[in-house]
Amino acid sequence: MSLRLGDDAPNFKAQTSQGEIDFYEFLGDGWGVLFSHPADYTPVCTTELGRTAALKEEFAKRNVKVAALSVDSVESHHGWISDINETQGVEVTFPIIADEDRKIAEAYDMIHPNASLNATVRSLFIIGPDKKIKLIITYPASTGRNFNEILRVIDSLQLTAYHSVATPADWKDGEDVVVLPSIKTEDIPDKFPKGHKVVKPYLRTTPQPNK
């Protein structure tokens, strides 16, 4: 049975490029991003891991731990990391998980028969502090991930987890947000003192509350 949003993220222990980790202990009380790659030494994934390393500070300021996964060995990962650092001008400091028996890939439903019988598809999971899955995105092998979108979604998830708002289409951090329908219009001024706009009775906007 495949994982769905709101499900518990499966915990696991695994060998990585930084030694053995317990995934829940690795995440601690923060947020997490787990993303998979079909194999080491693949071109698109090399650019993605480089981009992830370049965004180290962006993930850190959002209290997000990042881990990658491939079905290759730790030894292979170390060689690949050297290539990533060299070609992308970065230093990979996050762990790359060795999932040679594919148990983690199976637990996270990363093996799709229509894509490959023996390799992971390129899935990405965002996991909340409650260890529940907040987002799942699966990419084809030919298309690199949009990391600006991943950061945007993390901003939205963190904002909406702690405030009674949702984020509209193409929203970016700092822009107006939508007041949840569960909040009565007459109660908006007390809850959102920065002001609000009633576009329709069901569509009310307010400045981002945590800015």
CATH number at residue 96: 3.40.30.10
Same domain, 117 and 194: no
Residue 211: pLDDT band with limits 50, 70, 90: confident
Each as own residue / partner, the long-range contacts of residues 106-109 (CB below 8 Å, 24 or more positions apart, any chain) are 107/10, 107/12, 108/3, 108/10, 108/34, 108/36, 109/2, 109/3
Range of the domain at 188: 163-206
pLDDT for position 120: 57
Question: Residue 119: its pLDDT value, please?
Answer: 56
Contact 157, 57 (CB under 8 A): no
User: Number of structural domains, the chain?
Assistant: 2
Residue-level pLDDT at 115: 55
pLDDT in tens, 33-65: 999 988 899 999 999 999 999 999 999 999 999
Domain boundary (99, 116, 145) is at 145
Asked if residue 141 and residue 195 are part of one domain, the reply reads: no
Question: What's the pLDDT tens digit per position in 158-172?
Answer: 999 999 999 999 999
**What's the pLDDT band for 150 if we cut at 50, 70, 90?**
very high
Among all residues, which ones are annotated catalytic?
45
Question: Are 180 and 95 within one domain?
Answer: no
Together in a domain, 85 and 182:
no
Q: What CATH number corresponds to the domain at position 198? A: 3.30.1020.10
For residue range 129-138, list pLDDT tens digits in order: 999 999 999 8
- At 17-30, the pLDDT tens digits run 999 999 999 999 99
Name which of 3, 22, 28 is nearest 137 in CA terms. Answer: 3
Looking at the structure, do residues 36 and 67 belong to the same domain, yes or no? yes
Domain endpoint, select from 145, 171, 198? 145
Residues 72-93, mean pLDDT to the nearest whole number = 97
Query: From CA 70, how far away is CA 129, in angstroms rounded?
Result: 24
